[in-house]
């Protein structure tokens, strides 16, 4: 079937997680939208104590869980369900935020808002 009907969520079991690899081993990417059990926070506390006392990353906690027989599952997001927006730059963040504000105010995705999107100044500029 060229395009099977979307039924439920497809899942992946995560075996490893690498933040911004130079050479990705697959085409999968973490979208930075997470839902974790309390065990992740315990893993983050362990990582902070032993590896990175000044910096804490979710990826480090996920790796710690996987190294200690934890289980991580990922949901595969279908393009028909949502969209991905890059927020890795100030301009990308501003555009994604303005788009989410338009959608939240009831303007259908893809149509411009009647008012010009606000310009956010500060930490992201």
Chain segment 9-31, per-residue pLDDT in tens: 567 788 888 877 888 888 777 76
Q: Give pTM, 2 decimals.
A: 0.48
Number of Cβ within a 10 Å radius of residue 60: 19
- Closest of 69, 58, 57, 75 to residue 15, by C-alpha: 69
- DSSP-derived letter for residue 60 is H
Q: How many residues does the chain have?
A: 125
With tokens 């590896």, the residue in question is 51
With tokens 């301009």, the residue in question is 91
Report how far residue 97's alpha carbon sits from residue 123's, in angstroms, rounded to the nearest whole number. 14
Lowest mean pLDDT segment, chosen from 16-25, 43-52, 92-101: 43-52
């Amino acid at each position: 079937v060229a395009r099977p009907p979307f039924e439920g969520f497809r899942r992946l079991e995560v075996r490893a997680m690498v933040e911004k690899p130079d050479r990705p081993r697959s085409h999968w990417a973490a979208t930075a939208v997470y839902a974790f059990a309390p065990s992740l926070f315990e893993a983050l506390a362990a990582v902070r104590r032993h590896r990175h006392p000044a910096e804490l990353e979710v990826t480090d906690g996920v790796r710690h869980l996987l190294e200690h027989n934890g289980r991580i599952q990922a949901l595969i997001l279908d393009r028909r369900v949502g969209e991905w927006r890059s927020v890795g730059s100030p301009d990308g963040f501003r555009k994604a935020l303005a788009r989410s504000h338009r959608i939240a105010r009831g303007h259908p995705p893809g149509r411009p808002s009647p008012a010009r999107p606000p310009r956010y100044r500060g930490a992201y500029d």
